[in-house]
Amino acid sequence: MMPEMTMMQSRPLDALNKARNKKVVVELKGGRMYSGVLNAFDIHINVVLDQADELENGAVKRKLGTIFLRGDNIIMISPA
Amino acid sequence: MMPEMTMMQSRPLDALNKARNKKVVVELKGGRMYSGVLNAFDIHINVVLDQADELENGAVKRKLGTIFLRGDNIIMISPA
Amino acid sequence: MMPEMTMMQSRPLDALNKARNKKVVVELKGGRMYSGVLNAFDIHINVVLDQADELENGAVKRKLGTIFLRGDNIIMISPA
Amino acid sequence: MMPEMTMMQSRPLDALNKARNKKVVVELKGGRMYSGVLNAFDIHINVVLDQADELENGAVKRKLGTIFLRGDNIIMISPA
Amino acid sequence: MMPEMTMMQSRPLDALNKARNKKVVVELKGGRMYSGVLNAFDIHINVVLDQADELENGAVKRKLGTIFLRGDNIIMISPA
Amino acid sequence: MMPEMTMMQSRPLDALNKARNKKVVVELKGGRMYSGVLNAFDIHINVVLDQADELENGAVKRKLGTIFLRGDNIIMISPA
Amino acid sequence: MMPEMTMMQSRPLDALNKARNKKVVVELKGGRMYSGVLNAFDIHINVVLDQADELENGAVKRKLGTIFLRGDNIIMISPA
């Protein structure tokens, strides 16, 4: 049995909410990676990063400022 | 816990709204890039750019005027 | 803050509506391009073009009359 | 401004409705083409063609009778 | 004008309903083909075939019994 | 005509329900195949198999126990 | 017949719920694999893993901590 309450205790978006205002790494389909401070997200996993960097082989390739990433390209969000 | 109010404070579309009437760069799946003034967007991330340019290797390849970009092709929107 | 009114002032479909009965170029995923008079569109960005031409390298490849293009293939709609 | 009435005047499905019982060509993702009499369609652009032919290089490759084409494969519907 | 009644007269799923309990060929994305008796379908075009065969170059490759095919892989359903 | 009752008589998920607690083979996009006892499914065709094996060329490649397969990867479910 | 109760007895998300707080392996489209403790999931199969490792050929490639995986990339979730 899976009472609704139990399921509500721990939802994936709660983990993103805990990461708000913290530095994260976002990996996209096709291999691109961005690091930045998680400013905002929504249920589509659209994400806004502040002080964002595009990464290549773990190094900063481009400094980008505030970026909007469309959710359907995102594979993983992890702590930086 | 993630109270609804907290989540509402900072949503990804707010970042796009702040960028309205400012110059942005839009990157599409497949590598194409457009710069232009962000005129309009919606929840599907359909976007209208005014004074739009198609970019290639950072240089202007084509001047396009006002363009409509369908949201599902968009990977990233960043400040120009 | 993004009051609903502000967001409503300028929506992507408004730009398409302004282009109605004018000549546009529609670019599809995979590289195909069509020009024609924008007769109709809907929220899925399904589009009907009158006096449509298939373009290749900027030149007319085929004259097609009235065509229906399914929205999910469309990348960009721009003035002709 | 885009009053709801204006948008309703000309919708993409109206163009398909006009083509009902007429001969059309349907192009699919991946390049396949079918001609036939447009018998039915719905909002997903699922389509039924009567007296359908599979085309290759503009010539009839296979005679198929009545066929059901799932909408999400369709790129374009045009007059035959 | 497209009165709701007119559109209802002939819908794509009606054609599938007429094919129920008859032998059909189902073509999938990627080229696979199955023949069998159309037992059931739904609005997603999920399909159940009885006495199903996998076909290759028009010949029976595998006898499969009753199979469930998920709709989003289906390109075409035609009479066998 | 397709009365609602007629359509209800035989739905694709009924076939899956009959296969519950029986051994099935699940084929995924990209060619992977799993066999196992059908424990659960839902309208997205998410599937849980018990005593699951990954198959390669018809032979067991890996024994996996209970697995959850996300529906959108599934092409076919057939009796083992 | 498939009474609603019967279908409810065993749903795919129940299997995920049983795996909560246990170690699982998540396989993504494109071949990537992650192991970790299943912290949270939702109906989109968005998943949060604690103490997550990226795996390559069955060995740990990267230690990642808590990660969010977007559901639409997931193929399979199995016990570790």
**ipTM of this complex:** 0.90
Domain boundaries, chain G: 4-79
Tell the CATH topology of C19-79.
SH3 type barrels. (2.30.30)
Per-residue pLDDT, averaged over F43-53, amounts to 97
Per-residue pLDDT of chain C (80 residues; tens, 9 = 90+): 344 444 446 899 999 999 999 999 999 999 999 999 999 999 999 999 999 999 998 899 999 999 999 999 999 999 88
Per-residue pLDDT, averaged over G52-78, amounts to 96
Does the CB of B70 have a partner CB in chain C at under 8 Å?
yes
Torsion of CA F64, F65, F69, F75, to 10 degrees: 70
For domain A26-79, give its CATH number from 2.60.40.10, 2.30.30.100, 3.90.78.10, 3.90.1200.10. 2.30.30.100
Chains in contact with F, where contact means 3 or more Cβ–Cβ distances below 8 Å, are E, G
Write the residue in G11, G29, G78 that is nearest to F65 by C-beta.
G78
Does the CB of D28 have a partner CB in chain E at under 8 Å?
yes
> Amino acid identity of F7?
M
Confidence of residue D9 (pLDDT cuts 50, 70, 90): low
pLDDT at F4 over 60: no
Q: What pLDDT, on a 0 to 100 scale, did the predictor assign at position A28?
A: 97
Q: What pLDDT, on a 0 to 100 scale, did the predictor assign at position E1?
A: 39
Which of E68, E74, E77 best probes binding to F when mutated, by most F CB atoms within 10 angstroms? E68
The Cα-based distances of D22 to D16, D38, G64 in angstroms read 10, 6, 59
CA-based nearest distance B65→chain C, Å: 7
Q: In chain G, what residues touch A75 (CB-CB under 8 Å)?
A: 28, 32, 69-70, 73
Q: Report residue C10: phi and psi, to 5°.
A: -145, 105
Per-residue pLDDT, averaged over D11-25, amounts to 96
For domain B20-79, give its CATH number from 2.40.420.20, 2.30.30.100, 1.10.150.570, 2.60.40.10. 2.30.30.100
Nearest-angstrom CA–CA distance, A5 and G17: 12
Nearest-angstrom CA–CA distance, G77 and G38: 10
Does the CB of F25 have a partner CB in chain E at under 8 Å?
no
Which of C2, C4, C76, C77 best probes binding to B when mutated, by most B CB atoms within 10 angstroms? C76
CA-based nearest distance A80→chain B, Å: 20
E47-56 and D33-41: which strand pairing? unpaired
Nearest-angstrom CA–CA distance, D35 and A45: 41
Mapping DSSP to helix (H, G, I), strand (E, B) and coil, where does residue D52 land? Answer: strand
pLDDT tens, residue by residue, F28-41: 999 999 999 999 99
Half-sphere exposure of G5 (CA within 13 A, CB side): 0
- Tell me whether residues D12 and C42 touch, CB distance under 8 A: yes
Mapping DSSP to helix (H, G, I), strand (E, B) and coil, where does residue E39 land? Answer: strand
Confidence of residue B9 (pLDDT cuts 50, 70, 90): low
Nearest-angstrom CA–CA distance, F13 and E2: 34
Of D44, D23, D45, the C-alpha closest to D34 is D23
For domain G4-79, give its CATH number from 3.30.70.2860, 3.40.50.300, 2.10.50.10, 2.30.30.100. 2.30.30.100
Of G20, G72, G30, G76, the C-alpha closest to G50 is G20
* Whether the Cβ atoms of residue C52 and residue C65 lie closer than 8 Å to each other: yes
Residue F50, C-beta contacts closer than 8 angstroms, at least 6 positions apart: F36, F37, F39, F65, F66
> Amino acid identity of D9?
Q
Residue C14 burial (CB count, 10 A): 16
Nearest-angstrom CA–CA distance, E13 and D68: 9
Give, as one character, the DSSP assignment of residue B73: G
pLDDT at E31 over 70: yes
CA-based nearest distance F31→chain E, Å: 11
Of D2, G29, G42, the C-alpha closest to A30 is G29
Tokens 């590289």 locate to C31
Structural tokens at position E60:
């029976």
Confidence of residue F58 (pLDDT cuts 50, 70, 90): confident
* Whether the Cβ atoms of residue F80 and residue F34 lie closer than 8 Å to each other: no
* Whether the Cβ atoms of residue A21 and residue A37 lie closer than 8 Å to each other: yes
Structural tokens at position G2:
């498939």
Q: Report residue E2: phi and psi, to 5°.
A: -130, 80
* Whether the Cβ atoms of residue F33 and residue F26 lie closer than 8 Å to each other: yes
Q: In chain D, what residues touch C47 (CB-CB under 8 Å)?
A: 12
Question: Which of D39-43, F6-10, F62-66 is least confident?
Answer: F6-10
Nearest-angstrom CA–CA distance, A23 and A21: 7
* Whether the Cβ atoms of residue B27 and residue A62 lie closer than 8 Å to each other: no
pLDDT tens, residue by residue, F12-23: 999 999 999 999
Nearest-angstrom CA–CA distance, B49 and F19: 53
pLDDT tens, residue by residue, B27-49: 999 999 999 999 999 999 999 99
Does the CB of B60 have a partner CB in chain A at under 8 Å?
no
* Whether the Cβ atoms of residue B10 and residue A49 lie closer than 8 Å to each other: no
Q: In CATH, what is the architecture of F21-79?
A: Roll (2.30)
Does the CB of B78 have a partner CB in chain C at under 8 Å?
no
Write the residue in D28, D66, D69 that is nearest to E79 by C-beta.
D66
